[in-house]
């Protein structure tokens, strides 16, 4: 899951012990697939969500409104297909609120930054 191993989880979570019990908060190590560099994507507008808390309720509300939308891996843009895959869902709800994100989850992860484990409702982890 999340393209990592227990050994990698233990290496970045020094206080973590096996077995890892459900509900335990852990830091997920960042890895590159096939040791390839992450692509450099240009984002139209960078917004620091933690510094723009007013965006969070609108993003969450739209995300909730779209619950139940059919899933399709590699879905075409939502307005045409009426379907999402994981990254197109994130791209759409943030984009509708003025935050431009790359299309794929790999590119979205590369556009992000490291965060602490005190997650706000608007944050998501890659």
C-alpha 92/C-alpha 100 separation (Å) is: 9
Task: Name which of 43, 55, 28, 64 is nearest 120 in CA terms.
Answer: 55
Domains annotated on the chain, with CATH: 1-31 (no CATH), 39-126 (3.90.1720.10)
- pTM (global) more than 0.75: no
Please, are residues 87 and 104 in contact by the beta-carbon 8 Å criterion? yes
- The confidence band for 69, taking pLDDT boundaries of 50, 70 and 90, is very high
SS3 71: strand
Half-sphere exposure of 104 (CA within 13 A, CB side): 8
Give phi and psi for 41, each to the nearest 5.
-105, 145
Mean pLDDT of 80-105: 90
Quote the pLDDT of residue 40: 45
Quote the pLDDT of residue 37: 44
């Amino acid at each position: 899951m999340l393209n990592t191993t227990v050994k990698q989880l233990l290496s970045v979570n020094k206080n973590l012990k096996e077995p890892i019990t459900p509900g335990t908060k852990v830091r997920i190590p960042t890895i590159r697939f096939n040791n390839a560099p992450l692509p450099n994507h240009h984002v139209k507008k960078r917004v620091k969500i933690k510094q723009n808390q007013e965006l969070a309720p609108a993003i969450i509300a739209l995300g909730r409104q779209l619950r139940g939308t059919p899933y399709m891996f590699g879905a075409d843009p939502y307005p045409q297909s009426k379907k999402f895959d994981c990254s197109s869902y994130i791209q759409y709800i943030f984009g509708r609120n003025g935050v431009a994100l790359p299309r794929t989850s790999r590119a979205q992860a590369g556009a992000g930054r490291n965060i602490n484990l005190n997650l706000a409702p608007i944050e998501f982890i890659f």
